[in-house]
Chain A
Amino acid sequence: MVRINLVLLAAAIISALAVVSTNHQARKLVVAFEREQERTRALEVEWGQLQLEQSTWAAHARVAQIARSKLGMQPPHPDRIIAIHP
């Protein structure tokens, strides 16, 4: 009788410790997960800002102005365009 009781007591203690440790593990994972999600959001924000920056640099007004003034480019005269029919 006493033996069985001791075994059960040990089992209960082990199980209780396992619950504690699993819970701790779970919380650590949740924290890590939250951190990654935070990072996702931050990266999304950064991506948005980069897109914005890209389209600001690539604005047609700016490109046209640079092409004309800095690079000395101009639209080709119609005489110099050859259309190739497929």
Chain B
Amino acid sequence: MRPPRSPLLDERLPVWRARLVLGLMLAGSLALMGRSFYLQGINKDFLIGKGESRYERVIEIPATRGRILDRHGDVLAISTPVKSVWAIPEDAKLTPAQTRSLARLLDTDVRELTRRLAIERDFVYLKRQIPPDVAAQIADLKLPGIHFQNEYRRYYPAGEVTAHMLGFTGTADVGQEGIELALEAQLAGKAGSRRVIKDRRGQIVEDVESIRAPQEGRDVTLALDAKLQYLAFSQLKQAVAEHKARAGGIVVLDARNGEVLALVNLPVYNPNRRAGLSGAQLRNRAFTDSFEPGSTFKPFSVALALEQGHVRADTPIQTAPGKMTIGTATISDAHPHGVLSVAQVIQKSSNIGAAKLALGLAPESMWTMFDRLGFGQPLKLGFPGEVGGRLRPWQHWRQIEQATMAYGHGISVTLIQLARAYQAFARDGDLLPLSLTRVETPAAAGAPVFSPQTAQEMRAMLEMAVQPGGTAPKAQISGYRVAGKTGTAHKLSGGVYANKYVAAFVGFAPVSDPRLIVAVMIDEPSAGKYYGGDVAAPVFASVMEGALRTLGVAPDAPLRPLQMANLGAPPEEM
């Protein structure tokens, strides 16, 4: 049976309705297509980035600063990670008991801690650079608003002994002084970073990419010998205390390759505790302070006179009556001598003799020699504040200047320059550049200043200076032949020479085959003695003796009791 026909079905719908629905559906799908094209095509990168940031993390890969080692590999400076504790004061609502235990762990005052936590800032350091185990104990307290930050701290195990040589780093572990600054490029590490995927528990589950590879700082092996450094330090400390001196310095060089084996200055500071440092403590005097070298300078002019053939070692020179007038100025000897040979001028340290020899030289040739010896210009070893000393151009020299320069006045040098220049005598007349780092392949020969012949004659003269009749018999050591020169210079104070002195001694040993050069400078000894031969020479002797024995250098002299017994007190060596 067929159903009755519905009259409704006969009703014709208007065509526009069907078209409208179709049109709406078309528009809807077009909108969807457009939207998906926008999201997947145009806006893709932004959305991917947003998504990744939900699970990807960029983490820092720390890099350590290189160590500083002495020539035998002993650690002189090393960085280890420490933590700094900081707080968000607003979040850090601590109970009194919590504050007390935190203060105890931080080793600070409870009131100071409370004050810091009351500061109206978002970030307050509570204590910087605490050991990791203490930080772990604090973390165990689970205090609100207390956070940690990883940092590196540099430690100097030798403390004040190596302070000036090594310098120190700032809080960001960046070199600020000494070797730390000079070799910053080599020592500094560069932190890297990488992108990883972390899961819900914070574990790294996938290594996406390395953004920057970390660059570990490279270790630096210095030429420094920690034993000699300590020896020099303890001797200098003793001498400065004994003579109530204002300051002092010792430089020990290896004559064979120009290595700086030890370098100490006083006053000094402890690089591990640097609160309240004064400028005087920080000064690396061997590099930054120039002084008038006094008689330690005489050998240079004498050597030049020998070199040019004006005189021979035995040429007599009249130094009587111990005074000499040049223009309006008068120079004099400490003790009048009479007729001296050239060698005796060095031995007795006669100002008149040296001045007379210098006046026989052309100013230009003298200046050229000083310049070749490295005076008047910094050594450029990268030490901050290094000075070159004062050496005026020869065109402007007056006669009196030329004369006084021969005995080390009117010119200023640093201790390290002076020590280096003595290479010319300790070696066969040539000069090597100095090296702070260990030299693996020593240069065969340096820049020549004098002929080997002259250097040899000078060695003989300088050896006379430490023998009986010379100015520094206290520089002798048992078992080795020593050569050197004293210096006692008046200090300029406000343009005039005051009754203040710089006592110095520069020498080398063993004379038969010089190995070490030691330069000692004591500034303003004020306990009565001030002559270089009394103040600086004994320091030289004990440092040189200890150093030669430490290095196992073969004695080149018979062991004999010394005329000037400096063996009463046992030498401060190890």
Contact = CB atoms under 8 A, between A and B. Distances in A.
Given A48-B80, A52-B78, A81-B479, 7 more contacts: A26-B206, A30-B205, A34-B204, A60-B161, A64-B574, A81-B559, A83-B479
Interface in A26-60: 26-27, 30-31, 34, 44-45, 48-49, 51-52, 54-56, 58-60
A3 interface: no
Contacts of B158: 55, 59-61
Interface centre among A44, A45, A55, A61 (most CB of B within 10 A): A55
14 contacts: A30-B205, A30-B207, A48-B78, A49-B80, A52-B80, A55-B158, A59-B161, A60-B158, A60-B226, A78-B545, A79-B478, A81-B549, A81-B559, A83-B479
A15 B130 CA distance: 53
A56 B157 contact: yes
B328 interface: no
A59 B227 CA distance: 9
B559 A78 contact: yes
A51 B479 contact: no
A30 B194 CA distance: 14
A64 B555 CA distance: 24
A66 B227 CA distance: 16
Interface of A: 26-27, 30-31, 34, 44-45, 48-49, 51-52, 54-56, 58-61, 63-64, 67, 74-75, 77-79, 81, 83, 85
Q: Is the interface of B mostly helix, strand, loop or mixed?
A: mixed
B204 A61 contact: no
A51 B69 CA distance: 11
A45 B417 CA distance: 40
B80 A59 contact: no
Given A48-B80, A51-B78, A52-B80, A61 B478 contact: no
A71 to B, nearest CB: 12
Contacts of A58: 74
B559 A75 contact: no
A55 B81 CA distance: 17
Contacts, number: 81
Interface string B188-228: 00000000000100011111000000000000000000110
A54 to B, nearest CB: 8
Given A51-B78, A60-B230, A31 B203 contact: yes
B230 A51 contact: no
A59 to B, nearest CB: 6
Interface stretch (B166-174, B289-297, B302-310, B565-573): B565-573
Contacts of A61: 158-159, 161, 230, 234
A81 B477 CA distance: 14
A56 B76 CA distance: 10
A64 B546 CA distance: 13
A60 B573 CA distance: 10
A64 B79 CA distance: 26
B6 to A, nearest CB: 45
A58 B132 CA distance: 23
A52 B77 CA distance: 8
A75 to B, nearest CB: 5
Given A45-B80, A60-B227, A78-B478, A30 B74 contact: no
Given A79-B559, A81-B479, A83-B554, A59 B159 contact: yes
Contact of A77 (B81, B159, B567): B567
Contacts of B81: 45
B204 A30 contact: yes
A63 B157 contact: no
Interface string B470-492: 00000000110000000000000
B262 to A, nearest CB: 12
Interface string B380-411: 00000000000000000000000000000000
Interface string B539-574: 000000110010000110001000000010011011
Given A56-B157, A64-B230, A30 B206 contact: yes
A55 B158 CA distance: 8
Contacts of B78: 48, 51-52, 55
A83 B557 CA distance: 11
B555 to A, nearest CB: 5
B79 A48 contact: yes
Contacts of B161: 59-61
A55 B157 contact: yes
B574 A60 contact: yes
B574 A85 contact: no
A78 B478 CA distance: 7
Interface in B91-110: none
A44 B207 CA distance: 22
Interface centre among A26, A30, A63, A67 (most CB of B within 10 A): A30
Contacts of A56: 157
Nearest to B272: A56
Given A27-B206, A34-B203, A79-B559, A52 B75 contact: yes
A23 B106 CA distance: 46
Nearest to B160: A61
Q: Which 10 A-B pairs have the closest CB atoms?
A: A60-B230, A55-B157, A78-B478, A27-B205, A55-B75, A48-B80, A34-B204, A56-B157, A64-B574, A51-B75
B205 A52 contact: no
Contacts of A64: 230, 234, 574
